[in-house]
A = this chain, B = another copy of it.
Amino acid sequence: MDERVREHAEVLVDWSARVEAGDDVVVSVAEDAHELGVAVAEALGERGANVTTLYGSSELSRAYLKGIEAGTDGDVDAEDFDADPAVDRAVFEAADAYLRIGGGRNTTATADVDRPTRQAYAKARKGVREARMDTDWVSTVHPTRSLAQQAGMAYEEYQEFVYDAVLRDWESLAEEMAQMKDVLDAGDEVRIVTERDDAPDTDVSMSIAGRTAVNSAASVAYDSHNLPSGEVFTAPYDTEGEAFFDVPMTIDATRVRNVHLAFEDGEVVDFSAEAGEDALADILDTDDGARRLGELGIGMNRGIDRFTDSILFDEKMGDTVHLAVGRAYDACLPEGESGNDSAVHVDMISDVSERSRMEVDGEVVQRNGTFRWEDGFEE
C-alpha cells in the first residue's frame, strides 16, 4: 500500500476525528475508496475503536431513487419516502464519529435522477442528517480516477494534488489561521475589493459584528469537518455592493462560470453568470435565505494551488476568498442564536492573488494574496 494512504488514514482518525479507544465509529466507503477504507479500518483497530462500515455508492443511491420513481406514479414527493428511516437514524444516534470517504467511479452517477426526487429524499431525511451532524463527522476523499477526470488531471498527478492538500502540518496551519480568526472575531466590517480588466470589479462589504469565526483546521477539535480543510470562515450579514466570482463551480451538476452578484440591504438584487445562469437562478429562488449570505470564507491551504471542480478542495485554496449564499453555520453565531436559514448553501469563489485586498474595519489584512503577518505584505 502507498504509504501516503496510511498517512491519510492516520490524519483522518487522529487529527481530524480524534478517535479514542471504545469510540463507535461509522465509516462510509465510496465505490473506489476501498484502499483508504482498509487503511482507516486498520488504524481504528489499532486505537481500539469499534467500526461499522457503510457502502457509500452513488450508483446504489441512483438505483434506489430510480426504483422509487418507477414504483410511484407521477412526481415523487417527500411523502413517497418514510421520514427518517429507523436503521439510518439508529446508526447515527449510536455513533460517536462518522468518517465519510468519498471517491466513486463517476461523479455524475446520479445525473438522471429527477431533481424533485432528490429534493424529496433529502427532505424526508432531515432527522437522519441532523443525527449525523451531531456526531464527530469528517468528510474526506480517496483520490480516484473519476475525481482526477473531474479535475482535468492525470491520475498520478491528482494523487499528488490530494496528498499535498491533506498531508500538511495541520498544527502549524492551525496556528497561522488563528491569526485570521482573531482579526475577524475582533472586527465589525469586512470589505473585499478586486480589480479586473476583463470582468466586473468586486467591491463588497458586510458586517461580521458579534459573529465568531471558525478556524477550520480539518479537525472536530476546531469545529472543522473537512479533510482537507484550511479556511477561516464566519457568518456575515448586511452585505452591500458587487461581487464577482472567477473560479469555476458546479451547481447541481451544471457548470457555472463567472458569477456576478449585486447586494443591497443584505440581499442579492441582481445577478448574472456567463454559463449556468438558470442553475444560479434556481438556487437564488429556493427560499428567502438563498438571497442572503451564509458564509464568508478565506482559503488558506496553500497545498491546494489549483481549481479541481470539487468544493472540498476549491474553497480552501490559498489566495482565494469565497462567499456562500444560503444557510449559515451555527458555530459562527452567538450561543442559541440562529443565523441566515435556507435549504441551500452554495459557495462561490474569487481568486484574490492579484489586484485585490481584504480590509477589516478599514485596515488591510490581505493584499494580492499575502496576509499582513507574512513576508512581502504591502500595507
Counted per complex, copies of this chain come to 2
Whether A63 sits at the interface, judged by CB under 8 Å, is yes
| Chain B residues with CB below 8 A from A67, complex form | 41-47
Q: Which of B29, B51, B57, B63 contacts A45 (CB 8 A)?
A: B63
B60 contacts A41, CB within 8 Å? yes
What is the total number of residues of chain A having a CB less than 8 Å from a CB of chain B? 50
Cβ proximity bits A41-70 to B, threshold 8 Å, 1 near / 0 not: 111111110111111010111011111111
Cα(A26)–Cα(B55), bound, Å: 11
A91 interface residue (CB < 8 Å to B) = yes
CA distance A194 to B80 in the complex (A): 58
Q: Is A168 part of the contact surface with B, judged by Cβ < 8 Å?
A: no
Task: Please judge, given known A-B contacts A26-B87, A90-B90, whether A42 and B64 are in contact too, CB under 8 Å.
Answer: yes
A152 proximal to B (CB < 8 A): no
**Interface flag for A37 (CB, 8 Å):** yes
A34 at the interface (CB under 8 A from B): yes
- Given A42-B63, A87-B26, CB of A37 within 8 Å of CB of B57: yes
A24 cross-chain contacts in B, Cβ below 8 A: 85-87
Q: Does A39 have its Cβ within 8 Å of any Cβ on chain B? A: yes
**How long is the Cα–Cα vector from A34 to B55 in the complex, in angstroms?**
10
Question: Which residues of A, 19-47, contact B by the 8 Å Cβ criterion?
Answer: 22, 24, 26, 29, 31, 34, 37-39, 41-47
Does A93 count as interface, using CB distance less than 8 angstroms?
yes
User: Does A94 reach chain B (CB closer than 8 Å)?
Assistant: yes
Q: Is the beta-carbon distance between A87 and B50 smaller than 8 angstroms?
A: yes
Q: A45-B65, A91-B90 are in contact. Are A34 and B31 (CB under 8 A)?
A: yes
Q: Are A57 and B53 in contact, with the CB atoms below 8 A?
A: yes
User: Contact: B82 with A87, CB < 8 Å?
Assistant: no
Bound CA–CA A205/B192 (angstroms): 90
The complex places the Cα of A63 from the Cα of B46 at a distance, in Å, of 10
A88 within 8 A of partner (CB) = yes
Interface string of A241-253 (1 = CB under 8 A from B): 0000000000000
Q: How far, in angstroms, from A29 to B28 measured CA to CA in the complex?
A: 13
Rounded to whole angstroms, the CA-CA distance of A87 and B131 in the bound complex is: 13
What separation, in Å, do the CA atoms of A60 and B81 have in the docked complex? 32
Kindly state whether residue A365 has any CB partner on chain B within 8 Å.
Answer: no
Name the CB-closest residue of B to A80: B48
Contacts known (A29-B55, A48-B71); A63 close to B41, Cβ less than 8 A: yes
Cβ-based interface call for A95 (8 A): yes
Determine the distance from Cα of A86 to Cα of B175 in the docked complex, in whole angstroms.
36
Please name all residues of chain B whose beta carbon is closer than 8 Å to the beta carbon of A61 when the two chains form the complex: 41
**A45 & B70 in contact (Cβ 8 Å cutoff):** yes
Chain B residues whose CB sits within 8 angstroms of the CB of A37 once the complex forms:
55, 57, 60
Taking CB atoms, residues of chain B closer than 8 Å to A55 are 29, 37, 53-55
Residues of the B chain whose Cβ atoms lie less than 8 Å from the Cβ of A69: 45
Interface residues of A in 303-344 (CB under 8 A from B): none
What are 20 of the A-B contact pairs (CB < 8 Å)? A24-B87, A31-B34, A34-B57, A37-B55, A42-B64, A42-B70, A44-B64, A45-B65, A45-B68, A46-B68, A46-B71, A47-B67, A48-B71, A50-B85, A51-B64, A52-B88, A52-B91, A54-B54, A55-B55, A90-B91
Given contacts A46-B71, A50-B86, 15 further A-B pairs with CB under 8 A are A24-B85, A29-B60, A34-B57, A38-B59, A38-B63, A41-B63, A41-B67, A42-B67, A44-B67, A46-B67, A47-B67, A50-B82, A50-B87, A52-B85, A89-B94
Q: Which 5 A-B pairs have the closest CB atoms?
A: A45-B67, A50-B85, A55-B55, A90-B90, A42-B63
